[in-house]
Amino acid sequence: MTIKVGDKLPAAQLIAGTAEGPKPMSTDDIFAGKKVAFFAVPGAFTPTCSAKHVPGFKEHAGEMKAKGVDAIVCLSVNDAFVMKAWGENQGVMDTILMVADPAGDFTKALGLEMDASKFGLGLRSQRYSMVVDDGVVKELNVEAPGEFKVSAADYMLAQL
């Protein structure tokens, strides 16, 4: 069952890739009491994710914060070391919290996993974004396979 607008996010443990090393974080650590612009990608360092998805959220971060967003969070089914390296590569470590869902447990609990084995990636997250307010989904934008439209930062900015 896929999560929907109005649902509370399931409890899960994620791992942030930080300058100090991997930092375990619960979904409460990330979402409780905050308005969060959250987006998930199929893979760090992949073409669309690196050329469009992360740069869009970096570009619009100030506008999002001006509209009440407390944090911008990017998730991928990867490890925290990859997420840290990707965040550094993208120049977003001070703007976007890069979190790993190593086994895809959170992604599966949301019902937003996909099998990317044909691309050599295995279990991954679908491409999506959501506005989360105090752990409750307020907007959910899931891309059609191969698309990059509704999960983009400018689309979310219009929703805020």
- Residues 88 and 127: their CA atoms lie apart, in Å, by 21
- Residues 110 and 160: their CA atoms lie apart, in Å, by 22
- 38 located within any domain: yes
- Is residue 127 predicted with pLDDT exceeding 70? yes
| CA angle, residues 115, 119, 147, in degrees to nearest 5 | 75
Domain around 42: 13-159
- 1 located within any domain: no
In the chain, the percentage of residues whose pLDDT exceeds 90 is 82
120 — pLDDT class (breaks 50, 70, 90): low
- 149 located within any domain: yes
Q: Say whether pTM exceeds 0.85.
A: yes
pLDDT of residue 117: 67
- 6 located within any domain: no
Instruction: List, as one string, the DSSP characters of 25-70.
Output: EEHHHHHTT-EEEEEEES-TT-HHIIIIIHHHHHHHHHHHHHTT--
- 23 located within any domain: yes
Among 20-24, 33-37, 39-43, 113-117, the range scoring the smallest mean pLDDT is 113-117
Under DSSP, the state recorded for 125 is: E
CATH number of the domain residue 123 falls in: 3.40.30.10
The per-residue pLDDT of the chain, averaged, comes to 94
49 is catalytic: yes
- Determine the residue type at 36: V
Residues 6+ apart with CB under 8 A from 43: 49, 76, 77, 78, 116, 121, 124
pLDDT of residue 122: 66
49, 96, 99, 130: the active-site residue: 49
- 2 located within any domain: no
